[in-house]
Amino acid sequence: MPTLISETDVKLERSDLERRIVLPREVGPDGFIVQPARAPGLHLSGLLKYVAYASRISARVAEVADEEHPWRWALGQAFEEFAASLYPSMVWQPYECQSPVIMNCDGIDVRNEDENNGIVLCEFKNNRAKKYSGADLIKKKWLWMSQGLGYCLGYGTDLVEWHVMSVMHFPDPVYTKYLVRFSQEELDGMRNMIEMNRQGAIYAGYAE
């Protein structure tokens, strides 16, 4: 079971807005933002959708596509870009990993942790529900935990911090950070799952 290190509700103040940074953007000659090209092949997201479908963990995870719900995708992007701008020390959209499968994490931060050179991976989620407790996040969000494990293998750490905006609260949404550490046993299990399902996901059409 992953270890919940901390669970923190983020209180936004005017001074936080004044300290926001400009996120790096490449703009083409036509004035439009240039989107980084995704490498062809099997990505972690595709592999996890295949595993969810093949093992019947969640048919909903396997079937729901961002293209079918553009407002969900747009709101998720809006939250990620806003929240990422609040953390000057974090490298947003750092680089694409190729092993053990293609993946792109949202951000990398380096902190004064006792292991892994202080590398903490940051993931931003727009949650269309009420706030999860840390224990429920770990227990119920299989896709998020599996995504975090895969990223840890690619980027060389065991720490992931989820930044979650839970919108189903009145009068204001709740922004919570959950810092989670994975065990070596969990990381080894994730590596085995990737290797066992790689070819099946490719044959089933989950590669890009």
Flag whether 29 is in a domain: no
Flag whether 27 is in a domain: no
Q: What is the residue range of 64's domain?
A: 3-11+39-203
Q: How far apart are CA 127 and CA 75, in angstroms?
A: 10
Q: Where are the alpha helices (DSSP H) in the chain?
A: 14-18, 44-54, 59-63, 70-84, 134-140, 142-155, 184-203
pLDDT at position 27: 75
Confidence (pTM) = 0.90
Flag whether 30 is in a domain: no
Flag whether 72 is in a domain: yes
**Number of structural domains, the chain?**
1
pLDDT category, 65, cuts 50, 70, 90?
A: low
CATH number (domain holding residue 67): 3.90.320.10
Flag whether 34 is in a domain: no
The stretch 56-62 carries a mean pLDDT of 57
Flag whether 31 is in a domain: no
pLDDT at position 162: 97
Burial 63-84 (b: 16+ CB within 10 A, else e): eeeeeeeeeeeeebeebbebbb
Tens of pLDDT, residues 151-186? 999 999 999 999 999 988 778 899 999 999 999 999
Percent of the chain with pLDDT over 70: 90
pLDDT at position 31: 65
Flag whether 65 is in a domain: yes
Flag whether 194 is in a domain: yes
